[in-house]
Amino acid sequence: MPRILHIEDVAALREMIQCYLELQGFEVTGVGSGEAGIQALEESEYDGIVLDHHLPGISGERVLGWVMVHRPYLVPRVVITTGGLASPALEAKLASFTVPVLNKPFLLEELLLQLTRMTVPRRARLDSNTGMAAPSGL
């Protein structure tokens, strides 16, 4: 079961996404701040990270910087969520991270697709009857 760290300061959103992902077969640890996210990463191993860009205190951008230095193997398995691209400068900055960015509100299925692509080995995504890739890459 893939382990996901979800760093989101809006408790209701964090809990809803955690519940959805758990129903889809993920083990999810939800935390409400960048500081708590870094602490969780120091204490446990994760297969992927869902990271809110706009966090109080240590921002999502700074958490991603920490991941790049201390857990670089996780960088390709980060999904950034953001409340919207308010300016071309912010859009350019997010694009420079080279990780998927989902703008809120987003479909939960979009997040599921990103996490599945990142965390489930290709072999596990093959249909057991035909040996061919499952529809939609799942």
Query: In whole angstroms, what is the distance from residue 114 CA to residue 112 CA?
Result: 5
CATH number (domain holding residue 10) = 3.40.50.2300
* Band of residue 126 on the pLDDT scale cut at 50, 70, 90: very low
The pLDDT assigned to 20 comes to 98
Residues 87, 42: contact at Cβ < 8 Å? no
The pLDDT assigned to 95 comes to 75
28 backbone dihedrals φ, ψ, rounded to 5° = -120, 130
The pLDDT assigned to 138 comes to 39
The predicted model gives 121-130 an average pLDDT of: 48
Q: Which residue has the higher pLDDT, 85 or 13?
A: 13
Strand extents, DSSP E, the chain: 3-7, 27-31, 48-52, 78-82, 101-103
The pLDDT assigned to 88 comes to 73
| Residue 108 structural domain | 3-137
Tally of structural domains, the chain: 1
Reading the block at residue 104, the tokens are 């809120």
* Band of residue 86 on the pLDDT scale cut at 50, 70, 90: low
* Band of residue 129 on the pLDDT scale cut at 50, 70, 90: very low
114 backbone dihedrals φ, ψ, rounded to 5° = -60, -50
Cα-based angle 100, 106, 112 (whole degrees, multiple of 5): 65
Number of Cβ atoms within 10 Å of the Cβ of 100: 20
The predicted model gives 59-82 an average pLDDT of: 94
The pLDDT assigned to 62 comes to 94
Q: Does position 119 have pLDDT exceeding 60, yes or no?
A: yes
The pTM is what?
Answer: 0.83
Residues 76, 105: contact at Cβ < 8 Å? no
